[in-house]
Amino acid sequence: MSMVKRIFYLSFPQNRNMNKFIIFFSAISLLLSSPITAQPTPENAVGSIKIAVYDHIENKPIANAICCIPEIDTYFYTDENGYTQVIDIPLNKKPSATTYLAKSWSNVTLLVYKDGYDDFVLYNVKVKADYTRSLERIYLYRENGAKKIHSSSELPDNDWTLELLRKYRR
């Protein structure tokens, strides 16, 4: 029996199951307290997205909606089924302001336009390397008098957020 086990068993001689529980609990606690380190996105990585645009009232696809991704300065049009082609996005084209903690994804902005509809902006769209993400059902609202802008923002991965909080907590 190793010295560590002997000390543990001598500390709690009345119950060996309790010793096993304490060892198991200690191991789990150590694992949970270990930092979660996201691997940075490789330098030449490419991710993809495909976008579907729909009328929010009729729930029908919108053809010829313009989808722009400013980070790559490119425009795409939806087909008669409301879909864009698969859009390849170089993930490290632009340095990120969030270099204080490595991320396994990159963020882009999505702008959607169509005459007769309010504009739509989706911030922080997550794009991961070697993965095609489908943005199903981006709903556009019909113009009703003055043109409005509808916007939304995606949140970062939960594990990354927890690691960020852990890293900077005082």
CATH number of residue 141's parent domain: 2.60.40.1120
**Residues 84-109: what's their mean pLDDT?**
74
pLDDT band, residue 3 (cuts 50/70/90):
very low
pLDDT at position 87 is 93
Residue ranges making up the domain that contains 117? 46-156
Joined together, the tokens standing for residue 71 give 């980070």
Based on the fold, state whether residues 21 and 76 are members of the same structural domain: no
Q: What is the token pair recorded at 50?
A: 């495909």
> Do residue 78 and residue 105 come from a single domain?
yes
Kindly indicate the confidence band of residue 155, based on its pLDDT and cuts at 50, 70 and 90. Answer: confident
Task: List the one residue out of 24, 96, 28, 107 whose CA is nearest residue 70.
Answer: 107
Q: Are residues 124 and 95 in the same domain?
A: yes
Predicted local confidence at residue 77, as pLDDT:
97
pLDDT score for 95: 47
Which of 19-28, 53-62, 114-123, 129-138 has the weakest average pLDDT? Answer: 19-28
Instruction: Tell me the whole-structure pTM to 2 decimals.
Output: 0.68
Of the listed ranges 34-38, 46-50, 56-60, 110-114, the least confidently predicted one is 34-38
Please report whether residue 170 resides in a domain.
Answer: no
Measured distance CA(113)–CA(122) in Å, rounded: 12
The residue among 77 and 131 whose pLDDT is bigger is 77
Average pLDDT over residues 107-127: 92
Of 89, 120, 119, 121, which is closest to residue 107 (Cα–Cα)?
Answer: 89
Same domain as 52, residue 11: no
* CA–CA dist 66, 119 (Å, integer): 10
